[in-house]
Amino acid sequence: MSQLFAPDPGMDRHTIPHTEPITASNTRPPSSPRRHESESAMIRRLAIAALCCTLLACDPAPAPEAAAPVPSSSERLDALYADYWQRALELDPLRATFIGDNRYNDRLANSASPEHREQRRALAEDALAQARAIGSADLHGQALISYQVFETQLADELEGLRFPDHLMPINQFRNPAGQFAMLGSGTSAQPFRTLNDYDNWLARADAIPALFDQMIANMREGMAAGIVPPRILMEKTLGQIEALIKDDPEQTLFWQPFGEFPETIAEPDRERLRTAMRSLIGERLMPAYQRLADFLRDDYIAACRSDSYGLGALPDGNAWYAYRVRQSTTTDLSPTQIHQIGLDEVARIHGLMREVQTELGIEGDLKALFEHMKSAPGMVFESEQAMLDAYRAFRTDVEPRIDRLFDLKPKADFEIRPVEAFRAASASGASYQGPPMDGSRPGVFYLNTYDLPARPRYGLESLFLHEAIPGHHFHIALQREMTDLPAFRRFGGETAFAEGWGLYAESLGKELGVYSDPAMYFGALDAELWRAIRLVVDTGIHAMGWSRQQVLDYMYANSPAEPTRAISEAERFMAIPGQALAYKIGELKIRELRAKAEQQLGPKFDIREF
């Protein structure tokens, strides 16, 4: 799962001038014709003109200056894109930090506030109106694609603002409290390399309590309106937050960068920073975390849903989920159609698994195969370090093979890290965080090492291909390196393409010369099966009223999933409606496009060009 989106909880000191894109409304109209002049005035003007002609015959005047060229539609749109991106980063300083734009590292927007939602709406409406006024009639190639993406994404954002996501601002998968702890720990996107970096964080972190208080106010509004999440999600979220609360500031994650400074920071500055951070943690951050935890435990959890789990059970929930489906898949497929695609894909992949079962000589039904694979010797990693070492060793094996299928690779590196302990129990199996645009840190492949029996070794190869190379790391790092694209395309994207590409990358294993071990090929099929199951259960929860137990029963009946994995995934579907649909729907489209290219090009088809 790619971390393309930082859960979204100012203006920079360096003022950026606002440049209004040139439009028909701000160009100057032609001058009006002069009024009729008197006869004598005309005679004088004719005489002067005649004299000028005589002089011109002797010494020609220099040619008049050429008029400034009128900007093309493409140039006007490029100016609009740049202006929009600048304004969007000012509204979302965290996003700027995550992509490596450090101009706003001292700011934190109160993204839960009504004012912030209205600012987002106004920005999207203004940019969309300007884009449509310019139009796409004269555009071709990448310029046309940029216009179409820009228009679609802004229209989607405006439609999404109809729905009250802000009334359910937190869950265990998108938890601002956890995100800020990671940022403040020095292991995420917030830099701690210079004195200014530390001061920036002190300023940003000081704004966290106001955001938490607004989130609490929003959740109270949601309670009154009957718009609350399933109770089980909030119980997990509460546990994450309580794990971050410490009486001693120096025992918190926030203290880590203040316990060991870069050598370039002088001792007097270190002491000042320690004093300021100790006060900030003890007097503002920990009280804010405690207020949020107290509210969840004492007020909110009891008001959350215990008898329904999907969006369909909420006011206007069917329309809300239909929007999420369109946003995640970029299609007009209905939940019913997607549910059926999922059932069909599950049946197809089960057929491929039976072929592996025959190859391994295992008798019985698929459940027998599943039990064999889970209990086979060597399938459980002995320790977290053994798991990390195995993934790093596979990286060494697969990297030389990539040239078989790709002639374009990113400059940015990546590293493999375990998921942080405070969120591992409820986090997904893996995720990827892209590198910043300044190259100051590598991309990160986060690997969940919690409950090792639930992370069998047979899933290693396919998971690596999905999250790292040629999956999310190739896609996201290369996209960010394409400086000829508008910034909104370099640092944005569609979930259906991002996750569809990750699943397509898994399918390249045999072409890369991996999956040669039947167990590893089974692991690849299991990973693909899981994405097909998601089509069934996500639509089941949100459009068909399935219970949490129905989801778990379907998973256990149709896959080798252990409870840790199944529960985490089921709750992820509840928490992030529609997102799970993007993988298989996106992969099917990429597969369709590849088949079309192979058919049309025949022997001229080059997989590296594709």
- For residues 153 and 486, is the Cβ–Cβ distance under 8 A? no
- For residues 573 and 229, is the Cβ–Cβ distance under 8 A? no
Pairing of strands 414-418, 430-433: unpaired
pTM: 0.85
Evaluate whether residue 1 is within a structural domain: yes
**What angle, 0 to 180 degrees and rounded to 10, lies between the N-to-C axes of helices 563-575 and 231-244?**
100
Q: What is the mean pLDDT of residues 313-319?
A: 98
**What angle, 0 to 180 degrees and rounded to 10, lies between the N-to-C axes of helices 231-244 and 286-295?**
160
Q: What is the mean pLDDT of residues 385-401?
A: 97
Evaluate whether residue 457 is within a structural domain: yes
| Whether residue 240 sits in one domain with residue 140 | no
111-146 burial: b if 16+ Cβ within 10 Å, else e: bbbeebeebbeebbeebbebbeebebeebeeebeeb
Helices (H), 59-113: 73-91, 93-98
Whole-number pLDDT of residue 68: 72
- For residues 414 and 444, is the Cβ–Cβ distance under 8 A? yes
Evaluate whether residue 54 is within a structural domain: no
Q: What is the mean pLDDT of residues 465-493?
A: 96
pLDDT digits (tens, 9 = 90+) for 413-435: 999 999 998 888 878 889 999 99
* Radius of gyration of the chain, Cα coordinates, nearest whole angstrom: 29
Whole-number pLDDT of residue 4: 34
| Whether residue 466 sits in one domain with residue 439 | yes
| Whether residue 343 sits in one domain with residue 283 | no
| Whether residue 422 sits in one domain with residue 400 | yes
Is 198 exposed, middle or buried (CB count within 10 Å of its CB: 0-12, 13-18, 19+)? buried
The tokens for 261 are: 């400074």
Among 271, 306, 341, which residue terminates a domain? 306
Using pLDDT thresholds of 50, 70 and 90, give the confidence band for residue 66: low
Q: Give the number of other CB atoms < 10 A from CB of residue 60.
A: 8
Whole-number pLDDT of residue 70: 83
| Whether residue 585 sits in one domain with residue 513 | yes
| Whether residue 402 sits in one domain with residue 302 | no
Q: What is the mean pLDDT of residues 132-156?
A: 97
Listed residue (223, 206, 204) closest to 215, CA to CA: 223
| Half-sphere exposure (Cβ direction) of 609: Cα atoms closer than 13 Å | 6
Evaluate whether residue 60 is within a structural domain: no
Evaluate whether residue 327 is within a structural domain: no
Among 143, 163, 183, which residue terminates a domain? 163
pLDDT digits (tens, 9 = 90+) for 323-377: 999 999 999 999 999 999 999 999 999 999 999 999 999 999 999 999 999 889 9
Evaluate whether residue 56 is within a structural domain: no
Q: How far is residue 131's CA from residue 83's CA, in Å, rounded to a whole number?
A: 12
18-26, long-range: CB within 8 Å, 24+ apart, which pairs?
18/83, 18/87, 19/79, 19/82, 19/83, 20/83, 21/76, 21/77, 21/79, 21/80, 21/83, 21/130, 21/134, 22/71, 22/76, 22/79, 23/76, 23/130, 23/133, 23/134, 24/133, 25/133
Query: What CA–CA distances, in Å, run from 299 to 92, 233, 293, 296?
Result: 30, 15, 10, 6
- For residues 555 and 537, is the Cβ–Cβ distance under 8 A? yes
Mean pLDDT of the chain: 90
Amino acid in the structure at residue 255: W
| Whether residue 533 sits in one domain with residue 442 | yes
| Whether residue 363 sits in one domain with residue 282 | no
Evaluate whether residue 325 is within a structural domain: no
Q: How far is residue 162's CA from residue 225's CA, in Å, rounded to a whole number?
A: 15
3-state secondary structure of 359: helix
- For residues 462 and 509, is the Cβ–Cβ distance under 8 A? yes
The residue count of the chain comes to: 610
Pairing of strands 443-447, 414-418: parallel
| Whether residue 532 sits in one domain with residue 443 | yes
Whole-number pLDDT of residue 438: 80
Q: What are the φ/ψ torsions at residue 7 (nearest 5 degrees)?
A: -55, 135
| Whether residue 353 sits in one domain with residue 238 | no
| Whether residue 583 sits in one domain with residue 462 | yes
Listed residue (172, 18, 17) closest to 573, CA to CA: 172
Q: How far is residue 243's CA from residue 607's CA, in Å, rounded to a whole number?
A: 48
* Residue 417: strand pairing partners: 446
Query: What CA–CA distances, in Å, run from 349 to 356, 520, 521?
Result: 11, 15, 12
Please tell me the total count of domains within the chain.
3
Among 306, 321, 341, which residue terminates a domain? 306
Using pLDDT thresholds of 50, 70 and 90, give the confidence band for residue 449: very high
pLDDT digits (tens, 9 = 90+) for 96-116: 999 999 999 999 999 999 999
Evaluate whether residue 37 is within a structural domain: no
Whole-number pLDDT of residue 14: 28
Whole-number pLDDT of residue 492: 92
Using pLDDT thresholds of 50, 70 and 90, give the confidence band for residue 134: very high
Helices (H), 260-303: 267-280, 286-295, 301-303
Q: Which domain holds residue 243?
A: 175-199+206-306
Residue carrying structure tokens 């993934």: 391
Whole-number pLDDT of residue 427: 81
| Whether residue 127 sits in one domain with residue 210 | no
Q: Is 135 left (phi over 0), alpha (psi -120 to 50) or beta?
A: left
